[in-house]
Structure 1
């Protein structure tokens, strides 16, 4: 009986460990720092959040670099406000699946 319980606990621990590992690999990308702070607070301890807009850059006239576009395409979740505020994101986010975008536009 003890051996059976040990195997059960080991199996459940392995399942839990692998489940946590796959969730921690999620890529969350926020368009600017304030959204990055919010996303980081929500995902605290689960995954890291990346911010596209560099310090000192304006969200109204920023141009995405190729590395930024690649991060957007590889992201599991993209958090941004919308094209009225962040025109630099509009074209790049059109090719991202609607379930991966966190914006205020209807899908």
Structure 2
């Protein structure tokens, strides 16, 4: 599955001022890693965010967010967002804040 380079550019802009952000092609998409930990990414038709289990319910309350289920099973602590969320600075910012809250609490790899 290919990813949308335009969506990747949006996340690059969101993360431009953060140090220790790298990109890695994974799962047919592009993931953004913070201090070696997966933070978010893009795939065909939208994006994904690693919000952690404690933030999962809050993330799912954001319109356009749904459980991540690439394998057919929901992945706890991960949410999938559609292109509308990716294009909406407010909603994307809300999901990104939850993801940053979780990932910055993890030890660097």
What TM-score results when the alignment is normalised by the length of structure 2?
0.25
Relative to its length, the structure with more strand (as a share) is 2
Relative to its length, the structure with more helix (as a share) is 1
State the structure with more CA Rg.
1
